[in-house]
Amino acid sequence: MSRYLVTGGAGFIGSHLVESLLAEGHAARVLDDFSTGRRENLPPAAELILGDVADPATTSAAMAGMDGCFHLAAIASVARAAEDWPGTHRVNLGGTVAVLDAARARRVPVVFASSAAVYGDCADRPLTEAAPTHPLSAYGADKLGSELHAAVATGVFGVPTVGLRFFNVFGPRQDPASPYSGVISVFAGRLRAGAPLVLHGDGEQTRDFVFVADVVAALLAAMAWRGGTAAVFNVCSGRATSIRELAATLAAIAGLPPRLTEGSPRPGDIRHSLGSPEASRAALGLGPPIPLAEGLAAVWAWLGRP
Ligand SMILES: NC(=O)c1ccc[n+]([C@@H]2O[C@H](COP(=O)([O-])OP(=O)(O)OC[C@H]3O[C@@H](n4cnc5c(N)ncnc54)[C@H](O)[C@@H]3O)[C@@H](O)[C@H]2O)c1
């Protein structure tokens, strides 16, 4: 049994990770401020510290006695980062530095959430980890900054670190307002209401959707990985799904005809985003991704729960 700190453990991805850690017989301590996370996401066996990850004293106290830290706490919103640049920077980069600093005192390994946002509008398809990074948002810049600080933590202070560049993660408990895969909850809600599904533009834009259980598997494997250097891996399915295909697949699961209408394109929307999962599969020993339809069926069932 090991003891793990999960920052942001009351959020969408973090709460699935906490469930898996507990199911594997580990102890999980969650540091969260409930800004977007919810208490009801947490299993009763998880220990909770209610606090701010960017406060060094809080994070240092939370790290005491831990064998590893999963750092997921962030203000995961490009829009919020545009509205409150200094405030989100404080959490998204300052929180990472506080975690790494607390970890170096005890040489606690850290696995942290980065993002495909570090690639910006890089046209490579698929995007490998060697693609140039060119964030187009303060959020993406802070994720890239987190990777750079993690490299310092490893190279200079000997803290094992792995950064995971998540693509469009989806699954039960996701906030419909999520910029990543909130479209799935929005489409599901409209299907239930018998309303048409509104596409931004022609719906031919593509995303790399990865189911949350695959993300949890990557997080756990990354904690076990000891490559010796600071590593960064994509966490993605390697499959491009157009928003039209997404709508049709979800409608088929619901047993309803997809009624699609074209709305205005969202300004600044990236046309295509596709990750290469090759490096993470090879290094972390990950299996094939959960098929999109299977993941969507789980979301549909969860949204329809009583
Ligand atoms: N969901 C995706 O598709 C996706 C894609 C790329 C990267 N990510 C990253 O994965 C991580 C988890 O994202 P998520 O989708 O689960 O989002 P989420 O909003 O559900 O989870 C973030 C958690 O962090 C907590 N938090 C925020 N600020 C905090 C602070 N100052 N102190 C303590 N806790 C704080 C929130 O309350 C929440 O529980 C984030 O780092 C996010 O940037 C997510």
> Which of 36, 71, 89, 111, when mutated, tests ligand 1's pocket best, judged by the most ligand atoms within 8 Å of its CB?
36
Summarize the confidence of residues 245-274 as an average pLDDT: 89
- pLDDT at 176 > cutoff 80: no
* CA of 77 relative to ligand 1 center, distance in Å: 9
Domain check: are 139 and 216 in the same one?
yes
- pLDDT at 181 > cutoff 70: no
256 falls within a domain: yes
* CA of 71 relative to ligand 1 center, distance in Å: 9
Catalytic residue flag (residue 139): yes
Q: Read off the tokens for 292.
A: 């999109």
Domain check: are 113 and 84 in the same one?
yes
CA dihedral 270, 271, 276, 277 (to 10 degrees): 70
* CATH number, position 84: 3.40.50.720
Domain check: are 52 and 119 in the same one?
yes
- d(CA 103, CA 57) in angstroms, rounded, equals 12
Domain check: are 227 and 146 in the same one?
yes
**Selected catalytic residue, list 4, 119, 139, 180:** 139
Res. 269 pLDDT band, cuts 50 70 90? confident
Domain check: are 150 and 90 in the same one?
yes
pLDDT at 230: 77
The range of the structural domain enclosing residue 112 comes to 3-168+209-235
Residues near ligand 1 (Cβ within 6 A) = 8, 10-14, 31-37, 52-54, 72-76, 91, 95, 113, 115, 166, 168-169, 178, 180-181
CB hemisphere CA count around 267 (13 angstroms): 1
Q: What are the pLDDT digits (tens) for 34-87?
A: 999 999 999 999 999 999 999 999 999 999 999 999 999 999 888 888 899 999
Q: Which of 113, 39, 122 is nearest to 76 (CA)?
A: 113
98 falls within a domain: yes
Within 8 A by CB and 6+ apart from 193, the residues are none
> Which of 110, 115, 273, when mutated, tests ligand 1's pocket best, judged by the most ligand atoms within 8 Å of its CB?
115
Domain check: are 130 and 10 in the same one?
yes
Domain check: are 112 and 256 in the same one?
no
CA of 139, closest atom in ligand 1: 43
Q: What are the pLDDT digits (tens) for 10-31?
A: 999 999 999 999 999 999 999 9
* CA of 88 relative to ligand 1 center, distance in Å: 12
CA of 73, closest atom in ligand 1: 24
282 falls within a domain: no
* CA of 74 relative to ligand 1 center, distance in Å: 4
Q: Read off the tokens for 184.
A: 């799935």
Domain check: are 184 and 218 in the same one?
no
Domain check: are 197 and 133 in the same one?
no
- pLDDT at 179 > cutoff 70: no
Domain check: are 116 and 175 in the same one?
no
Domain check: are 225 and 121 in the same one?
yes
Number of domains in the chain: 2
Residue nearest to atom 42 of ligand 1 (CA): 76
Q: Read off the tokens for 234.
A: 């994509």
Residue 209's identity, in one-letter code, is F
* CATH number, position 250: 3.90.25.10
